[in-house]
């Protein structure tokens, strides 16, 4: 069929009387995988803005799926795609393209020792899967700890250590997975602290996991800021204490920086703010700048040991050259344009605006996060801190009607929290516009 020849129309199917029929919806032929689809089509995107087919403009306060940290259509990414697509896009897993080799070198140049070796995959779930397999093979154990508010992916091993959602109805999780209380000072998981954390939740959680252990520890996998858990930054000193407890038990510490790496929190990597170097680091969303790219990074000692033991983790798109070229462009841009510093200054501007909204809207119970990864916790009243899920949903929907895309997390026990993570390149004028729209939505939905 030539490009000028129209495809023949698909035959109509009779759906009379079918209660599941959705003939008038854009997603009629799609599997629904996590809530409803918006009933409009995005036609183009540039910078911090999306445009629909019918001409509506939408300000993107979530960087797509928290991935487009340089904004949409950034020239560095477009140029990298164009150049790589003219050279080589995909290879046999045993072959290496130049961009894969150079991306590994460039990452090691900005990562602290002893992190020294990387593999490149497609998604955060894949990167965490590889990290867990490395940890289990290296230690000989299989027990894995993760936070109750965690989200590490939807593949088998990663989903077994994802506790914020998606656990029910899919059969047994991978054996050995155990949960630690999320150290949320605003909603203490053990009703011990209020607006501070003295690590009692960690001590209690470790005591419980020790009691459950069958003597086969492997790893703890944690996010430095739990995003799906309601934008909960680990308290000062917590990560160092957790690593100490891991070392005492022969466990590795895996830090999942899907959303926090490469500038969003004001440093290249969030673990730097905790004076801790993980045994294994995973990167994903922010590394690809909107393309599917992730990385698992570990030490020379762990990689040597697992290679000798026959570490196996093939995927169809391991070490693909094109996304690696984009990853190099993202890293170079973050460094050259000092987007880490920009995340701090623009993030402070955004936080100040949110605090002003909190002064006017009783439903804003807490504002938290770091840099340009912030959360707005919506409550029925500030004393009880009871989450207001209905209001949170209404505010999110109203924002979209007014031209602002924000995301809400409202899983049981985690609150009703607006996640705000605009591109690092967003202008302060667009920040102010987004705050105006959010103010209007908060008012309209009361």
Task: With 0.85 as the threshold, say if the pTM is over it.
Answer: yes
Q: Is residue 10 part of a domain?
A: no
Is residue 6 assigned to a domain?
Answer: no
Residues 101, 74 contacting (CB under 8 angstroms): no
Tell me if 35 is assigned to some domain. Answer: no
CA distance 128 to 30: 27
Mean pLDDT taken over the chain: 93
For 148, the domain range is 76-336
**Measuring CA to CA, which residue among 10, 21, 69, 121 is closest to residue 333?**
69
| Tens digits of residue pLDDT in 425-436 | 999 999 999 999
User: In the annotation, is 4 catalytic?
Assistant: no
User: In this model, does residue 238 exceed pLDDT 90?
Assistant: yes
Instruction: Calculate mean pLDDT across residues 290-300.
Output: 97
Please state the domain count of the chain: 2
Alpha carbons 436 and 432: distance in angstroms, whole number? 6
Judged by phi (left if over 0) then psi (alpha if -120 to 50, else beta), residue 225 lies in beta
User: Same domain for 212 and 111?
Assistant: yes
Query: pLDDT (tens digit, 9 = 90+) per residue, 303-360?
Result: 999 999 999 998 999 999 999 999 999 999 999 999 999 999 999 999 999 999 999 9
Q: Say yes or no: 430 and 304 in one domain.
A: no
Instruction: Specify the CATH number for the domain of residue 379.
Output: 3.90.1150.10
Residue 157 lies in a domain: yes
**CATH assignment at residue 176:** 3.40.640.10
Instruction: Establish if 123 belongs to a structural domain.
Output: yes
Asked about 49 being catalytic, the answer comes back as no
Residue 22 bears catalytic tag? no
Given a cut of 70, whether residue 2 has pLDDT beyond it is: no
Is 419 one of the catalytic residues? yes
Within a domain: 227:
yes
- For residue 276, CA distances in Å to 37, 124, 204, 231, 273 come to 40, 21, 22, 20, 8
Q: Are residues 56 and 81 in the same domain?
A: no
For 95-148, how does the pLDDT look when each residue is reduced to its tens digit (9 = 90+)?
999 999 999 999 999 999 999 999 999 999 999 999 999 999 999 999 999 999
Token pair 């809207």: residue = 361
Helix (H) or strand (E) holding 373: strand 373-378
Residue from 264, 285, 351, 398 carrying the catalytic annotation:
285
Average confidence (pLDDT) over 176-183? 96
Q: Is 256 a catalytic residue?
A: yes
Catalytic residue among 264, 410, 419, 430: 419
**Same structural domain, 48 and 137:** no
Say if residue 225 is in the same domain as residue 190: yes
Kindly state whether residue 28 falls inside one of the protein's structural domains. Answer: no
Structure confidence at residue 22 (pLDDT): 67
Residue 25: predicted pLDDT: 87
- Residue of 223, 257, 303, 388 marked catalytic: 223
Does 225 share its domain with 312? Answer: yes
Give the pLDDT confidence score for residue 15 in this predicted structure.
45
CA 136 to CA 51: how far, in whole Å? 46
The answer to whether residue 157 scores a pLDDT higher than 90 is: yes
């Amino acid at each position: 069929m030539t490009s000028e020849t129209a495809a023949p129309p698909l035959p109509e199917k009779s759906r009379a009387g079918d209660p599941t029929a959705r003939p008038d919806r854009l997603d009629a032929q799609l599997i629904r995988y996590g809530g409803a689809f918006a009933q409009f089509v995005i036609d183009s995107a540039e910078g911090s803005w999306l445009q629909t087919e019918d001409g509506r403009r939408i300000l993107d306060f979530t960087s797509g799926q928290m991935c487009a940290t340089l904004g949409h259509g950034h020239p560095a990414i477009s140029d990298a795609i164009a150049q790589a697509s003219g050279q080589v896009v995909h290879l046999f897993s045993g072959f290496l393209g130049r961009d894969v080799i150079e991306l590994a070198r460039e990452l090691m140049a900005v990562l602290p020792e002893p992190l020294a070796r990387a593999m490149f995959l497609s998604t955060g779930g894949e990167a965490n899967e590889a990290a867990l397999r490395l940890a289990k093979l290296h230690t000989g154990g299989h027990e894995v700890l993760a936070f109750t508010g965690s989200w590490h992916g939807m593949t088998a091993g990663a989903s077994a250590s994802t506790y914020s959602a998606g656990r029910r109805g899919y059969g047994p999780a991978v054996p050995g997975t155990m949960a630690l209380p999320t150290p949320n000072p605003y909603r203490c998981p053990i009703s011990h602290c209020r607006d501070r954390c003295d690590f009692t939740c960690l001590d209690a959680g470790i005591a419980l996991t020790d009691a459950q252990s069958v003597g086969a520890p492997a790893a703890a996998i944690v996010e430095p800021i739990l995003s799906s858990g309601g934008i909960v930054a680990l308290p000062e000193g917590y990560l160092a204490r957790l690593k100490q407890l891991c070392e005492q038990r022969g466990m590795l510490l895996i830090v999942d920086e899907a959303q926090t790496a490469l500038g969003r929190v004001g440093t290249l990597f969030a673990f730097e703010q905790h004076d801790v170097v993980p045994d294994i680091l995973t990167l994903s969303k922010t590394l690809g700048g909107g393309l599917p790219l992730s990385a698992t990074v570990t030490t020379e000692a762990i990689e040597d040991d697992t290679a000798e033991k026959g570490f196996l983790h093939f995927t169809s798109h391991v070490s693909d050259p094109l996304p690696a070229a984009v990853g190099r462009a993202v890293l170079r841009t973050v460094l050259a344009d000092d987007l880490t510093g920009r995340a701090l200054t623009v993030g402070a501007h955004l936080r100040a605006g949110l605090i002003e909204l909190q002064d006017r809207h009783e439903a804003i119970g807490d504002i938290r996060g770091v840099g340009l990864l912030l959360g707005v916790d919506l409550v029925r009243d500030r004393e009880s801190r009871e989450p207001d899920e209905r209001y949170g949903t209404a505010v999110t929907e109203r924002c979209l009607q007014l031209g602002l895309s924000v995301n809400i997390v409202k899983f049981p026990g985690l609150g009703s929290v607006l996640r705000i993570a605009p591109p690092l390149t967003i202008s302060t004028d667009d920040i102010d516009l987004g705050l105006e729209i959010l103010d209007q939505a908060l008012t309209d939905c009361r």
